[in-house]
Structure 1
Amino acid sequence: MKIAIDIGGTFIKSGVIDKSQSLHGYQKVKTPHNKNGGILQEVIRIIQDYKETFHLNNPDVGISTAGVVDSEKGEITYAGPTIPYYNGTNFKESLADIAGNVVINNDVSSALLGELLEYRTDVKSIFLMTIGTGIGGAYYEDKLLEGKQYRACEIGYLLYDEQTDKTYEDRGSTTALKALIQEHYKEVVTVENLFDRAYEQDDKALKILNEWAKYVAEGIAQVQIMFDPEVILIGGGISKQEGKLISLIEPFIDNFLPEAYGHAKIETTSKGNDSALYGAVSTFFD
């Protein structure tokens, strides 16, 4: 059994995954403030808890995390404002005394590795786009594309508009969608509520979602041109809308591509928000 940990800016999720890819002992805790190394301390607590609960001796640990990750060193090289004081955190060194092998990857890369468990033989090239607080990307073709500084596929920074000072993720993230909702509604309307209203043919909800969907589609078109993958997966919390989400976005993609260019099959992730947990430990099951 392997310990899987997924570190986000808001929550840390974790569990123990067995050989049959079943998840046990799922936990979700608020990400602690990191000024005094709170995240590393919480990760150590989680590992010790699972070691005791599941009687694990020197367990392998897979970590998925927000930020730019040097996967060889096991170190956070850049996290920006998402998680303050996170740069330089080295999990491989810090966990050497309580764990066996420690593998660490960026959260989007981990999510893609988790999804690959479903695609091992059928598909050779997959791009995963996660839409949430921001927008992240990961690409796999024979291996993960990481880049010289482990910053490949940072697609949220694409499509910068000087007039509005906004990037792709400023327009196409779930955060951006929530801002659009607040502009148009006086009452509290969640993203789920908005989708429900739209599929009941509420004109206002449809207008908001279509405006947002065009922004998302524009980024997908850029991914298509740059990577030409077989499948483009959409992950993050929004992915639970599944077919509703795809039917909303897909009609706009060709608007941003040359005539008759075509695009990859668009799907939502099969494991939803748990993809990164499975991906964190996927290399242990190869």
Structure 2
Amino acid sequence: MNESLAIDLILRHGKISRADISREIGLSKPTVSSVVSRLLELNLIREIGPGENAQGRKATLLQLNQNALFVVGIDFSVKKSRVALANLNGDIVAQSTLGMNESGPESYMARLADHVTAVLQQYQLDWNVIHYVSFGVPAVVTPETGTTSFMVDELEAFKPFLSQPYLNRLFPANVILENDVNLSALAEYRYGVARKAPIFSYLSLGAGVGSALMSDGVLYRGSNGAAGEIGELLSPSGVKLEQCLSAQYIKNETAKYRELSDKLCCYGHQKFVDELFALVAVEDPEAVKVIREYGHFLAIAIQNLCVMYDPNIIVIGGSIGRHSDVLIPLVRPFLTKFLPVTPKLSGTELGENSVVIGAVGLAVKRSFDFIKNNLLVQES
């Protein structure tokens, strides 16, 4: 108990003396000395030299040993997996990507595990200092079972392999499985444009569409983990919004215009989207028509989200949402017309790294939970 309080205090202050710990927690100096000695033995904190307290006397300062444990965050997406290695401060010390290939899901997962091991070895680390591997996946995750549903179509074959039981066998560490949009929301709340926003939503537009809902820093999951699956809402024509807001919809609409289609036909998914928006920027009439129609469906989705959740801010991200500078002006007039109060609309501050940053942040939190609930309890 006392060790947990001391750890929390060190985290809050960054660096602090034994005397200041004693004052703030209200423990006697001998008790604090014992607590600090135990934390030093466990290699969880370190002494960093003298500082000055209020009386001007030198005091040895204590700081978290950020390299006592490490975590791995993985953004598992349609085209590639982003891997990040981070310390207990959440500082990313190594990043790497592993592209998809034609070898099949089981083979790819084995390659991914080997790839993560190689990243650790490159940083001269073993798995014994990795307590958590956190996965962000484009699917609904049921926390109780660690299984997925509503996986994006392109990754449907991976569904049996993106489950908690399978991943726990594959990686020699505790595995966290979380929806990728939820992780983006956690990252934007802690580090990005939605810092400390009381109520906000993260809307991801890409291969699929999804949203995450947060209130006072806590994710709202619903009874089955599917809250925020805005793509399941119906458009006025009775078609799911998922079909009207995905990258495939944009490609289908583009194909209706021969000249525009010819300009973009040689590009892959992300380049296709980026070049289409580049054409909008130079007022290509066919490109403008496609994105204006897309903006209509996006406005319907956001209007529904506002009516249901009434957020302070909606952050728009994803491979399509990265072009929020074009999309937001299309959406705002519609919202102003049909909503009594419109939320702030913003592009993501963290960009394509939001999922892996959120994965790292969640793994760091779980690591501290482990330290407090297991390691310190055993040592007390």
Q: TM-score, normalised by structure 2?
A: 0.66
Matched, 1:179 2:252: yes
- Of stretches 89-98 and 192-201 in structure 1, the one that deviates more from structure 2 is 89-98
Matched, 1:49 2:49: no
2:86 corresponding residue in structure 1: 17
Tell whether the 8 Å contact from 1:67 to 1:80 is kept in structure 2 after alignment. Answer: yes
Give the superposition deviation at 1:65. 1.0
Matched, 1:129 2:211: no
For the residue of structure 2 that corresponds to 1:232, the secondary structure is: strand
Please report the RMSD computed on the Cα atoms of aligned residues, expressed in angstroms. Answer: 2.6
* Aligned counterpart in structure 2 of residue 104 of structure 1, from 177, 187, 195: 177
**Using a 3 Å threshold, how does the CA distance of structure 1 residues 147 and 33 change in structure 2: closer, same or farther?**
farther
**1:98-146 CA-partner distances (Å, limit 9, x unpaired):** 5444222011111111212225753121111110111111111131111
1:214 corresponding residue in structure 2: 296
Tell whether the 8 Å contact from 1:68 to 1:106 is kept in structure 2 after alignment. Answer: yes
Q: How many residues align?
A: 280
Hey, which of these two has a bigger chunk of helix by percent?
A: 2
1:149 corresponding residue in structure 2: 224
1:232 corresponding residue in structure 2: 314
Amino acid in structure 1 at the alignment position of 2:175: V
Unpaired runs of 5+ residues, structure 1, are none
Give the superposition deviation at 1:7. 1.4
**Using a 3 Å threshold, how does the CA distance of structure 1 residues 194 and 97 change in structure 2: closer, same or farther?**
closer
For the residue of structure 1 that corresponds to 2:316, the secondary structure is: strand
- Of stretches 54-63 and 76-85 in structure 1, the one that deviates more from structure 2 is 76-85
**1:8-33 CA-partner distances (Å, limit 9, x unpaired):** 23322212134353352321311666
Tell whether the 8 Å contact from 1:7 to 1:31 is kept in structure 2 after alignment. Answer: no
**1:218-243 CA-partner distances (Å, limit 9, x unpaired):** 10000000000111111101233242
2:346 corresponding residue in structure 1: 267
1:244 corresponding residue in structure 2: 326
Unpaired runs of 5+ residues, structure 2, are 1-69, 265-271, 366-380
Amino acid in structure 2 at the alignment position of 1:151: A
**Highest RCO, 1 vs 2 (Cα 8 Å, sep ≥ 6):** 1
- Higher radius of gyration, 1 or 2: 2
* Aligned counterpart in structure 1 of residue 187 of structure 2, from 111, 114, 125: 114
Give the superposition deviation at 1:3. 1.0
Matched, 1:69 2:141: yes
Tell whether the 8 Å contact from 2:235 to 2:300 is kept in structure 1 after alignment. Answer: no
- Of stretches 264-273 and 25-34 in structure 1, the one that deviates more from structure 2 is 25-34
Q: TM-score, normalised by structure 1?
A: 0.86
